[in-house]
Each structure stands twice: as structure tokens, then as C-alpha cells.
Amino acid sequence: MSASFICAPEQFPTVRTSIERPEAHLVAQASGMPSSTLHEALGRIGALPSSIKPVAPAMRICGPAVVVHSPGGDNLWLHRALYIAEPGDVLVVHVSGKPDFGYWGEIMSTAACERELGGLVIDGCVRDADQLEALGFPVFSTGLSIRGTGKDQGARGWINHPVRLGDVIVQPGDLIVGDRDGVVAVPRERVQEAVSSSAAREAKEITVMQRLRSGERTLELYNF
């Protein structure tokens, strides 16, 4: 099913199907970097709410954001976003302050795997935890809820418009990186800087740990 078919502009004027994304080689480089390092390397920006965590500890996420603003208690706009997102994209979903619904589960993860998407980040709950872990599709949520969602054809939602998660505004095409520690949104125009600064930071930390193992103290190393 094509995005043009399900999201014709005259039918869904709040949907943008075309976004700019970071260059693929930068996404690949960032995929091996900890979320905390990218956050620190850019001056401690982009940390999404700490309540958003992977459904399974080993899950990791890295890809351009396709942003969804969903009506509370309704997941129809998530279904629509599944067929707008491109391979590798991460759905970043705001649920209008109503987290306690199972917005996502085994069916949608199966569809997302078939679409080769990069993952889901949602400021609400999901369900089917065991099945999601078995599928391996990276899902980051605020928790689990069995409460069912509606699918109101008349409810207004937005796809690929900015949303605020916590104190971070996520723009379409921002780079989303998540691991067990949390999730960071790197502004698209700063991805190159983030990757370079993170690599330098990682190299410096390796040196610091070597010196600590040689008997030096953090107090002197950091001039505390």
C-alpha cells in the first residue's frame, strides 16, 4: 500500500510524506554510539523523557524520525505512519498526554518488520511484550498496558510535523538513537557534528579508563 494512496493531500492535509534525512553513512556511524555519548557530545541536548525505555533490554534503535502526533487513546495514525515511513526510519509518537493504552503490539511490529523500519519511540504504552521481544523489532515506550485503543476515522492527527516529548522538540528527519540507558534526538543538521564529537569523546574515555586502571584518581584526572 503506497503513502500516496492512503494519505492523499486533500484527504489528510496534516500529513507530510516527504522529509529530509541524515546521510546514510552518518546514521551507520551513529548506530554504534551510546545514546548518552551523543547527548553529552552536543552539550547535553536531545534527551527524551527517561520514562521511555526499551521493551527488552537488548533493543537498540538508530534512524531518522518519522514524527506522529496521535489522538489520545487512538492508534489509527500509527497505522498510517507505518506506510509513510521508509526502511530504517524510526516512528516517534506523541500520544497527546494519554499514555495508558496499548498503542502498539505484535501485529504492528510484524507490519513494521515487513516494512524494514528502524523502530518505535512512543511516549505511551504498548502491549504483547513477550511477542515484541521475540520479534526483535526495537520498541521504546513508557510501559505496558493491555487497554485497547480506538480507530476514529474523524480524529485529527499529524504526521511529520514537530512534536514535543518532555522538553525536547523532535523534528522530522532528526536522528533518533536509543539503547538501554534512554533515547536521544539529534537535530538533523547537527548529526555530522554529533558523530565526530562522540567519536572523540569515546576515544578520550578509553584513555581515561586506562589511566584509572594504572592507579590514577578521577579527582586529579578531572581536576575536581
When computed from its CA atoms, the radius of gyration of the chain, rounded to whole angstroms, is: 19
The response to whether 63 counts as a known ligand-binding position is no
The response to whether 105 counts as a known ligand-binding position is yes
CA distance 222 to 188: 31
Instruction: Write out the three cell numbers for 223.
Output: 581536576
Instruction: Write out the three cell numbers for 128.
Output: 504483547
In DSSP notation, 67-125 reads EEEPPTTB-HHHHHHHTTS-TT-EEEEE-TT---SB---HHHHHHHHHTT--EEEESSE
Beta partners for residue 141, in sequence order: 53
CA distance 13 to 38: 34
The response to whether 128 counts as a known ligand-binding position is yes
The response to whether 106 counts as a known ligand-binding position is yes
**Which residues are part of a known binding site for Mg(2+)?**
128
Which residues are annotated binding-site positions for substrate?
105-108, 127
Residue list for the binding site: 105-108, 127-128
